[in-house]
Chains A and B, each alone.
Chain A
Amino acid sequence: MTTETTKKFNIDTVEHAAKTPDTELPWAELGLKQNEFDEIVKVLGRRPTGAELAMYSVMWSEHCSYKSSKNHLRQFGQKVTEEMKKDMLVGIGENAGVTNLGDGWAVTFKIESHNSPSFVEPYQGAATGIGGIVRDIISMGARPVAVMDPLRFGAIDHPDTARVMHGAVAGIGGYGNSLGLPNIGGEMVFDSVYQGNPLVNALAVGVMRHEDIRLANASGKGNKVVLFGARTGGDGIGGASVLASESFDDTKPSKRPAVQVGDPFAEKVLIECCLELFKGSLVEGIQDLGAAGISCATSELASNGDGGMQVELTSVLLRDPTLTPGEILMSESQERMMAVVTPENVEAFEAVMDKWAVEYSWLGEVTDTGRLIITWEGEVIVDVDPRTVAHDGPVYDRPFARPEWQDAVQADTFTGSVQDAGRPAAPAELAAAVTELVASPNMCSKSWITNQYDRYVGGNTSMAFPDDAGVVRVDEESGLGVALATDANGRYTYLDPYHGAQLALAEAYRNVATAGAIPMAVSDCLNFGSPEDPDVMWQLAEAIRGLSDACMVLGIPVTGGNVSLYNQTGTTPIHPSPVVAVLGKLDDVARRTPSGWREDGQAIYLLGTTGAELDGSEWANMRGHLGGQPPKVDLEAERALGEILINASRDGMIDSAHDLSEGGLAAALVESSLRYGVGARIALQDVMDRDGVDLFTALFSESQGRAVVGVPRSEEVRFTDMCTARGFAHTRIGVVDAASGKLEINGVEGLSLDALREAHEGTLPKYFG
């Protein structure tokens, strides 16, 4: 695009374009490939105008078009059983999927990435990530009720990690805290593979009555198209096409101006104002403006509707009057929405805008021409079939193949490796190992982060970090609520993408069930390297195949999500990191199960069996080893465990439950003790005898399908009978000891809770102040 500083640009009209077929256009600078540009010319039957080129370039970018992943993502829609469809009110393809909660309630949730912007400008990148996902939720007609943020940064001791960490956490807090949305959980992983490509994912969840569900479409000839919220400025221009679809390298100039800047107050007002519009049924269709701004909103609304749309671009309210038409179309200025309003509702719509002091401008109207026409002072600068922009972008069947190195990686098991030398065995060594584990960057307490987020606002948060899942009440009278957890393990997925993705799903599923909620739906954020690398493409294909297969077995559908590709520095990609969010339902949030035990004398049970599975584990990671096979996936066992945890919660058979995942039993025992500062006495001999493992393995193995629960004495018989009847392995491993102030494990030197807490909570403050 040109960068004139006056308003007198040479407007490249459709008529002009038709007459000047040979004009050079900067399609390559806008991220388009030769074949894509040729396709645009073919679709239009002439060269595109500058404005059209801007629209196609952003909408056909990897970020907006899913051109590399689309062929694989179809599996989420194909591998669906009747059971999975039962509660799905809106599936993939809309701004976010919608799930039926019963009693007339529906819930919508979605997870998205804001990775590249968060590396360039951590505060604004992370802040606008929250802003964008929250607007997706509003667009469905829902009131947003909570957010979560899975984060993956570089090595904890790398100097640049502090820059990203401080900025991203402050951005999530600064924006999210100002919206009145409790932050109820997330993840924090440090690994040098994310050094130049941190992952900042954001999840939002919203609730609505069934009748309030809104979709993004523009129907009804003569209905008015309105843009409201913040003014359009120069921020984020080209962000979608340039930033998110290319890898970083050192040869290009700084991309800082391409990151959007957020205004949380404007977003907060937008939330309230949209909810008032919904309440009065004042909009026919609505779409948030995120990546690709007006290009995306106009083309998606028009192509999802039944006709066309005509828009006058000079009606857009600008923050910067020098913007060119192409820049206005591409701008990713935040806190904007576009809606379709019937002429009868125009007055009422304006009254709501005035009440909340929100600026708006009427841009045009819905037509029946099937064309999206955009004019500039009456001259036509865009005349396209909106489907070709929004939906019929290029789709690539990118080549993929199992990497040549995969076999060697999988053969390199931890047990017996150089890094495994001197494995702890003596009581003092094991005590030191447990302490080291819970102080390690990935296993330490994340309260340094979560205490910068408001978890109370709204008064409906029933559980949040550090429990296994976040729980929010939806209906104040019945106590109906939802539980949410997000998980991913990049190391597991690197070792085996198919099973690694399934393990992420299994863990999120287990976390939700551990809280006592019935898992219902999945949203995923697939963070991978360059799809042009066949190794990475194979990881992506395998992960999607694994995830979709596992959803079938667990009986929960993927209702939405996002793909983030090109997360690599030079030719080095991140670990494949499919972040999976699972949403569950609790009939009464008062029944939710926290992760810590409290009552003296309660029995502690380990559910599930333990194998020698240390490959890819936190322990191996702490020793600098990554190889072998990730833990075995047994989805039927996960489902059985989930049913036990849910039933036990519903019938009051357990007072605490904590899932076993990274860090194994050692981490779970410490976390359950520290949750309320109540100790326990543990003996693992029965587990070791039954499963044929030594004490170190019993403590540090990351075998799946396990949980630790606290059972009141009065419920022990009923609980064990239930496990026996379902044929699920369960072992009494100890008892809660409230007076000791210690976690005592037979064969491990006594661990004082004070020392464990100091180790667990000291790590993040030590590195980040």
Chain B
Amino acid sequence: MTELPLIGEAVAVAAAPRLAGARIGVVTFPGTLDDRDAARAVRLAGGTAVELWHGDSELGDVDAVVIPGGFSYGDYLRAGAIARFAPLMSKIIDAANSDAKLPVLGICNGFQILTESHLLPGSMIKNDHLKFLCRDQVLRVENSNTAWTLDYQAGQEITIPLKNQDGQYIADEKTLDALEAEGRVVFRYVGFNPNGSRRDIAGISNAAGNVVGLMPHPEHAVEPGFGPESLDGIGGSDTDGLGFFTSVLNKIVGGDK
């Protein structure tokens, strides 16, 4: 188990008694960057964040897993290509495919790792404009039945930050058609496709809906004053990303809120 050295301790939000028992693991690779943010998001949503280390060979007692953004092992080869072989990843893959259907959320680099792990189809290549891009991005929630989107309405538009260099989602036409037909396109870019992703796809799920991956960052839109704000600024009161975490927590503690 690793320590995540924090800038101070995380916000001492009194965990919502109903949700506090739900334990969400946050995976840290040596090059992971957004792990503290993901853990903070879990806590702000009322759950308990559990630190997971890439080298661990046991998943331990967690009810769901977030694979946050960053550069896993440097990603000099291909984003996530080595990370999929981490000892912990094989446990996550097994748990996600098991009957228990462990909820797994891959954000940015986490999404790349999920596709490399074949938990999700397709792949990410360099943005069509070839630059790193950081912006506040509008998404449409296309499917509100996955483990991570239950607290949204289908068709709802949310704004969360996007920041990546290799965010262009690609897959063959057959796969794309199947994803569409099965309702597995979970998020679509609205207004502006920031990286050339096929069919404006920002995020997808597996067939069972427990594994979701997306390029934009819900964990950066969970706290008033530190989230997106219009016109390429920061510090807004937008907390559109919190629903990812409340969705899974509510599902874990049982039932429909």
| A275 CB-CB contact with B under 8 Å | yes
A181 — nearest CB in chain B belongs to which residue?
Answer: B33
A476 near B7 (CB under 8 angstroms)?
yes
| A459 pairs with B234, CB closer than 8 A | no
Chain A neighbourhood of B234, CB < 8 A: 455-456, 461-464
Assess whether B156 is interfacial by the CB under 8 Å rule. Answer: no
Task: Tell me whether B8 and A178 are in contact (CB under 8 A).
Answer: no
Most chain B beta carbons < 10 A, residue from A170, A454, A677: A454
Q: Mark B180-201, 1 if CB is under 8 A from A, else 0.
A: 0000000000000000000000
A residues near B69, Cβ cutoff 8 Å: 457
Q: In the assembled complex, which residues on chain B have CB atoms less than 8 Å from the CB atom of A447?
A: 232
Interface hub of A272, A463, A476 (most chain B Cβ within 10 A): A476
A279 within 8 A of B: yes
Contacting pair B132 A174 (CB below 8 A): yes
Contact assessment for B231 and A143 in the assembled complex, using a CB-CB cutoff below 8 Å = no
- Check if B3 sits within 8 Å of A458, measured CB to CB: no
A455–B228 Cα distance when bound, in Å, is 10
Q: Identify the stretch in A396-404, A466-474, A600-608 within 8 Å (CB) of chain B at 4 or more residues.
A: A466-474
> Chain B residues with Cβ under 8 A from A170's Cβ?
131-132
CB distance from A153 to the nearest CB of B (A): 18
- The answer to whether A265 and B132 have CB atoms under 8 Å apart is no
Q: Taking the complex as formed, is B140 at the interface, i.e. its CB lies under 8 A from any CB of chain A?
A: no
Tell me the minimal C-beta distance from A740 to chain B in angstroms. Answer: 17
Which of chain A's residues has its CB closest to B44's CB?
A459
A462–B226 touching, CB < 8 Å: yes
Q: Which residues of B contact A275 (CB under 8 A)?
A: 5
Contact B34–A276 (Cβ < 8 Å): no
The answer to whether the Cβ of A139 comes within 8 Å of any Cβ in the partner chain is no
CA distance A475 to B7 in the complex (A): 7
- Among B2, B74, B230, the most chain A Cβ lie within 10 Å of the Cβ of B74
- A357 touches which of B8, B30, B33 (Cβ 8 Å): B30
Given A452-B131, A462-B235: A265 and B8 within 8 A (CB)? no
Residues of chain A contacted by B74 (CB below 8 angstroms)? 178, 263-266
Q: Are A451 and B5 in contact (CB under 8 A)?
A: no
- Do B232 and A476 touch across chains, with their CB atoms under 8 A apart? no
Answer whether residue A200 sits at the interface, using C-beta atoms and an 8 A cutoff.
no
B70 within 8 A of A: yes
Residues 144-166 of chain B, each 1 if its beta carbon lies under 8 Å from chain A, else 0: 00000000000000000101010
**CA–CA, A263 and B229, complex, Å:** 32
Chain B CB within 8 A of A180 CB: yes
Least CB distance from B74 to A in Å reads 3
Question: In the complex, which residue of chain A has the Cβ closest to the Cβ of B11?
Answer: A476
For chains A and B in complex, what number of residue pairs have CB atoms within 8 angstroms? 138
Contacting A at CB under 8 A, from B26-77, are 30-31, 33-34, 36-37, 40, 69-71, 73-76
Nearest B residue to A356 via CB reads B30
* A343 to B92 alpha-carbon distance, docked (Å): 40
Q: A592 to chain B: which residues have CB within 8 Å?
A: 235
Interface residue count for B (Cβ, 8 Å)? 45
CB distance from B159 to the nearest CB of A (A): 13
A-chain residues with CB within 8 Å of residue B33 when the two chains form the complex = 178-180, 268, 457
Interface of A is mostly: mixed
Chain B contacts for A178, CB-based, 8 A: 31, 33, 71, 74
- Tell me if B232 and A451 are in contact (CB < 8 A): yes
B104-133 near A? 1/0 per residue, CB < 8 Å: 000000000000000000000000000111
List of B residues within 8 angstroms of A207 by Cβ: 7
A268 contacts B8, C-beta separation under 8 Å: no
User: Whole-angstrom distance between the alpha carbons of A357 and B74 in the complex?
Assistant: 13
Q: Which residues of A contact B30 (CB under 8 A)?
A: 265, 268-269, 272, 356-357
- Separation of A451 and B136 alpha carbons in the complex (Å): 10
Which of B169-177, B205-213, B215-223, B244-252 interfaces with chain A? B215-223
| A467 and B229 alpha carbons, distance in the complex (Å) | 12
| A467–B232 CA distance with the chains assembled, in angstroms | 11
Residues of chain B with a CB closer than 8 A to A473's CB = 7, 226
- Least CB distance, B216 to chain A, in whole angstroms: 11
Considering the complex, which residues of chain A in the window 443-495 have a beta carbon less than 8 Å from any beta carbon of chain B?
A: 447, 450-464, 466-467, 471, 473-477
Tell me the bound Cα distance from A207 to B163 in angstroms. 25
Task: Decide if B31 touches A265 in the complex (CB within 8 Å).
Answer: yes
Chain A neighbourhood of B34, CB < 8 A: 180, 457
Q: Is the CB of A456 within 8 A of B231?
A: no
List chain B positions with a Cβ less than 8 A from chain A.
Answer: 2-3, 5-12, 30-31, 33-34, 36-37, 40, 69-71, 73-76, 131-135, 161, 163, 165, 217, 219-220, 223, 225-226, 229-235
Return 25 A-B CB contacts under 8 Å, by A number.
A178-B31, A180-B33, A207-B7, A265-B30, A266-B74, A269-B30, A276-B5, A357-B30, A447-B232, A451-B133, A452-B132, A452-B134, A455-B234, A456-B37, A456-B161, A456-B163, A456-B217, A457-B34, A457-B37, A460-B226, A464-B234, A467-B235, A675-B231, A675-B233, A676-B230
Q: Report, nearest first, the 7 A-B pairs whose CB atoms are least far apart.
A: A265-B74, A180-B33, A459-B37, A456-B220, A475-B8, A275-B5, A452-B132
